[in-house]
């Protein structure tokens, strides 16, 4: 059985993934002793919160058609399914040495890459006319995260 999603569904998942990212960075910041690294991780956590708000705003701008449910769901189970997908696909129970900034950055880059792959796959499940083209904005945001993290990792290695 194949599932289709609309742009609203994907933005809902994107918001949850950003919340998970904010929690990841906040937890990492709490476990690191270097004040500069701690400040950077706290900044990343706040950026994730900001991105979650950006995705919420983008979600509000969707047309009614892009919000139209693609499946019959009288019990509201789709929302639980979407949350489970978001919670288990990106920032999920990875074993990381959160006392090492280098390992945190590597794990964060990996998570951001995972999110891009996830969104590319989800994009294939959104029919044309249901907001498929809107997902490029989410992917672009995640690519920006990778650039920022890679720059920090490169500076950290120097």
pLDDT tens track for 80-138 = 666 666 666 555 555 667 778 888 888 889 888 888 888 888 788 777 777 777 788 88
In-domain check, residue 79: no
Query: Considering the domain boundaries, does residue 20 fall inside one?
Result: yes
Mean pLDDT rounded to a whole number for the chain: 80
pLDDT digits (tens, 9 = 90+) for 66-80: 777 766 665 666 666
Domain-located, residue 81: no
| pLDDT band with cut points at 50, 70 and 90 for residue 41 | very high
Q: Would residue 120 count as lying in a domain?
A: yes
Count other C-beta atoms under 10 Å from residue 20's C-beta.
21
Find the CATH number of the domain harbouring 137: 1.20.1260.10
The residue range of the domain holding 111 is: 7-63+91-157
More confident residue, 123 or 60: 60
DSSP string, the chain: ------HHHHHHHHHHHHHHHHHHHHHHHHH---HHHHHHHHHHHHHHHHHHHHHHHHHHT--HHHHS-SS--TT-HHHHHHHHHHHHHSS-S----TT-HHHHHHHHHHHHHHHHHHHHHHHTTS-TTTTGGGHHHHHHHHHHHHHHHHHHHHHHH-
Kindly state whether residue 54 falls inside one of the protein's structural domains.
Answer: yes
- Residue 35: is its pLDDT beyond 90? yes
Residue 135: inside a domain: yes
In a domain, 56, yes or no: yes
84 domain-assigned: no
Stated pTM of the model: 0.77
Per the structure, the count of domains in the chain is 1
């Amino acid at each position: 059985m194949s599932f289709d999603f609309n742009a609203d569904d994907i933005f809902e998942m994107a918001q949850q993934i950003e919340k998970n990212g904010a929690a990841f960075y906040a937890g990492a910041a709490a476990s690191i002793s270097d004040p500069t690294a701690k400040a950077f991780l706290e900044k990343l956590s706040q950026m994730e919160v900001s991105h979650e708000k950006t995705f919420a705003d983008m979600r509000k701008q969707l047309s009614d058609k892009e919000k139209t449910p693609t499946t019959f769901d009288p019990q509201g189970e789709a929302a639980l399914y979407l949350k489970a997908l978001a919670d288990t696909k990106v920032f999920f129970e990875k074993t990381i040495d959160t006392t090492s900034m280098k390992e945190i950055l590597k794990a964060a880059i990996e998570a951001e890459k995972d999110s891009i792959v996830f969104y590319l796959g989800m994009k294939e499940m959104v029919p044309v006319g249901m907001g498929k083209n809107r997902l490029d904005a989410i992917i672009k945001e995640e690519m920006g995260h990778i650039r920022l993290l890679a720059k920090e990792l490169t500076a950290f290695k120097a």
